[in-house]
A and B are shown apart, each in its own frame.
Chain A
C-alpha cells in the first residue's frame, strides 16, 4: 500500500489513508489547524461556512456509532451536507461490489468519503479508483490503520504534555488486532517521542514489532514505570474465547490499569483510551474516571481533528462545477 497516493504532486494532502509515510510537518499542520477549531465548540453558532455546498458521505461497512458521529459532527460544523450509509445492510447484501457502491455515490456528486471497512486496504482500493476531485478519509480499516484516531491522540498528548520529544509513551493491550495501535506508533515515531513502549501479553503483540522502533514489555509494571503517557487499547471481548486471553479476570489481574499500577508511571502521567472502554477488563473505573484520565477530552478533540483533516483535504481543491456524463 503506497502512501504516495495520499499526496498531490505539490505535496498537499489529497486523501488520508494512513499515518505511515506522512511527514511530521503534515502531522503538525493538521494538529495546528485543529487547534483553531477547538474554540468553535464554545460558540453560539458552532458552524463555519468552509465546506458549504460540499457533500460528505460517511460510508461505514462496519458498525461504529462513536466514530461515525464525530465525522458527522465535524462535517456539519464545516457546513457540509452529510449522508450516512451503512452498506452492509443495503447494497452489498444484494451483491454490489465495493467499487460499484462508491461509483454510484460518486455519480451523486460527492466530494469526500469517510470510509470504515473490516478489510484492511479497502480505503486504499477506493482511493485508487476515484477521480481527482473525490477524496477519501480512512475511518478505520481492518487491522491496518485508523489515522484520525492517532491524530486526535497526538493532539491530546500535545495539549496535556507539550513537546513530543521529551516523552515516554506506553501503548498497552491488544496491539496485535489494533489498527489504532499501528497508527499511534507511526505517529509517535514520526513526531519523535523519546521512547515508545508496547505493553501486553505475548499472544497479543505482533511478531517483529520491534522493527517499528518500540520497546516491548510483557510485564505491565515494568512497562509503565516512569512513562508520561499511557495509551490503553480496547480489548475485544470476542478474543476471550480463543487461546489468546485466558479469562477476563486474569487479563485484568495482569494488564488491567489500576490506580496502583498508575502510580508507577510519572506523577504527571495522563491516561488515554480510544473508547468504548471495558471497565474492569483493560481499565479500572477509578482510573477511567480519575483525574489523570483524558478520555473525554479525546472525544472533544476528535471533532476538531476531523474538521482539520476535512478542511485541509478539501481546501485548495476547487469543487467540480459541471459534470460530464459518465462515458
Chain B
C-alpha cells in the first residue's frame, strides 16, 4: 500500500529519470484516466509549457467485441501535431502491455512521431506483449489474483486489490 507521500516520491523518481533521458522538444501524453493524472503531475513538476495530451484508447482496445463500448468514453485530445515529435507516453500501471499497444496505434493515427518513450508509475510484471517501459516509478511483483489500482486524481494512492474485492 503506497500513500500519497509515496506517490510523490515515485513521481519525483520518474521526473529524475525523465530529465536524464529527456528527448528534445518532448510532448507529454497521458492515457486516460490514471495515466493522464500522472502526466499532469509530471507536466507541472518538470515545467513543460506545451499543452498536455490525453488518449482514451477505448476505440483501439482488442477486447471491444467482448466488452463493448464504455458509456463514458472521453474524447482523445492531442492539442498539437505529433508529426516529428518526441512523445513521452505516460500510464499509471503497466501490466499486459495491451493498453500501450492500443495507445501506440492511436498515436500513429494522429501522425508520425519521431520517437515514443514509455513512462509508467508502476510496472507490474505480467506482460503478454513485447512492450517494455523506459521510465518506471516502481516495480511490483504481485500474485496473479492481486491487482494494483491508482486512486485519484486528488490524494492519489496505489491500492492493491484482491480478486473479488
Q: Which residues in A have some Cβ–Cβ distance to B below 8 Å?
A: 12, 29, 32-33, 35-36, 38-39, 43-45, 47-50, 308, 311-312, 314-319
Using A39-B77, A49-B59, A316-B67 as known contacts, say yes or no to A44 and B72 having CB atoms under 8 A apart: no
Return the contact of A49 from the options B60, B66, B73, B110 (Cβ within 8 A).
B60
* A246: min CB distance to chain B, Å: 49
Task: Please indicate the chain B residues that have their CB under 8 angstroms from the CB of A39 in the complex.
Answer: 75-77
Q: Closest chain A residue to B102 by CB distance?
A: A49
Given pairs A12-B68, A33-B69, A316-B65, 18 additional interface contacts (CB within 8 A):
A29-B71, A32-B72, A33-B73, A36-B56, A36-B73, A39-B75, A43-B110, A44-B109, A45-B109, A47-B109, A49-B60, A50-B59, A315-B65, A315-B68, A316-B68, A317-B68, A318-B65, A318-B66
Chain A CB within 10 A, most for which of B58, B65, B74? B65
How does the 8 Å CB contact mask read for B116-156 relative to A, with 1 for contact and 0 for none? 00000000000000000000000000000000000000000
CB <8 Å contact, B65 and A36? no
Q: Closest chain B residue to A43 by CB distance?
A: B110
Using A43-B110, A44-B110, A45-B110 as known contacts, say yes or no to A36 and B74 having CB atoms under 8 A apart: yes
Q: With A and B bound together, what is the CA distance between A315 and B66 in angstroms?
A: 7
CB <8 Å contact, B110 and A50? no
Using A48-B59, A49-B105 as known contacts, say yes or no to A36 and B68 having CB atoms under 8 A apart: no
Q: With A and B bound together, what is the CA distance between A316 and B105 in angstroms?
A: 21
Q: With A and B bound together, what is the CA distance between A75 and B163 in angstroms?
A: 38
Task: Please indicate the chain A residues that have their CB under 8 angstroms from the CB of B67 in the complex.
Answer: 315-316
Task: Please indicate the chain B residues that have their CB under 8 angstroms from the CB of A317 in the complex.
Answer: 65, 68
Task: Please indicate the chain B residues that have their CB under 8 angstroms from the CB of A33 in the complex.
Answer: 69, 71, 73
Q: In this assembly, does B51 line the interface, its C-beta being within 8 Å of a C-beta of chain A?
A: no
Task: Please indicate the chain A residues that have their CB under 8 angstroms from the CB of B64 in the complex.
Answer: 50, 315
Task: Please indicate the chain B residues that have their CB under 8 angstroms from the CB of A44 in the complex.
Answer: 109-111
Q: Which residues in B have some Cβ–Cβ distance to A below 8 Å?
A: 56, 58-60, 64-69, 71-77, 105-106, 109-111
Q: With A and B bound together, what is the CA distance between A25 and B161 in angstroms?
A: 31
Using A35-B75, A48-B60, A49-B105 as known contacts, say yes or no to A312 and B69 having CB atoms under 8 A apart: yes
Q: With A and B bound together, what is the CA distance between A175 and B60 in angstroms?
A: 42
Q: Closest chain A residue to B73 by CB distance?
A: A36
* A13: min CB distance to chain B, Å: 10
Task: Please indicate the chain A residues that have their CB under 8 angstroms from the CB of B109 in the complex.
Answer: 43-45, 47-48
Q: Closest chain A residue to B61 by CB distance?
A: A50
Task: Please indicate the chain B residues that have their CB under 8 angstroms from the CB of A36 in the complex.
Answer: 56, 58-59, 73-75
Q: Could you name 22 residue pairs across A and B whose Cβ atoms are closer than 8 Å? A: A29-B71, A32-B71, A32-B73, A33-B71, A33-B73, A36-B74, A39-B76, A39-B77, A43-B109, A44-B109, A44-B110, A45-B109, A50-B64, A308-B69, A311-B69, A316-B65, A316-B66, A316-B69, A317-B68, A318-B65, A318-B66, A319-B65
Task: Please indicate the chain A residues that have their CB under 8 angstroms from the CB of B65 in the complex.
Answer: 314-319
* A198: min CB distance to chain B, Å: 32
Q: With A and B bound together, what is the CA distance between A308 and B65 in angstroms?
A: 14
Q: With A and B bound together, what is the CA distance between A29 and B110 in angstroms?
A: 26
Q: With A and B bound together, what is the CA distance between A43 and B107 in angstroms?
A: 11
Q: With A and B bound together, what is the CA distance between A316 and B71 in angstroms?
A: 12
Q: Closest chain A residue to B76 by CB distance?
A: A39
Return the contact of B68 from the options A47, A49, A312 (Cβ within 8 A).
A312
* A294: min CB distance to chain B, Å: 20
Q: Closest chain B residue to A39 by CB distance?
A: B75
Q: With A and B bound together, what is the CA distance between A270 and B65 in angstroms?
A: 38
* B61: min CB distance to chain A, Å: 9
Task: Please indicate the chain B residues that have their CB under 8 angstroms from the CB of A50 in the complex.
Answer: 59, 64
CB <8 Å contact, B110 and A315? no
Task: Please indicate the chain B residues that have their CB under 8 angstroms from the CB of A12 in the complex.
Answer: 68
Q: With A and B bound together, what is the CA distance between A314 and B109 in angstroms?
A: 22
Chain B CB within 10 A, most for which of A49, A308, A314? A49
Q: With A and B bound together, what is the CA distance between A311 and B76 in angstroms?
A: 17
Q: Closest chain B residue to A318 by CB distance?
A: B65
Q: With A and B bound together, what is the CA distance between A145 and B153 in angstroms?
A: 44
Task: Please indicate the chain B residues that have their CB under 8 angstroms from the CB of A45 in the complex.
Answer: 109-110
* B69: min CB distance to chain A, Å: 5
Q: With A and B bound together, what is the CA distance between A50 and B111 in angstroms?
A: 19
CB <8 Å contact, B71 and A38? no
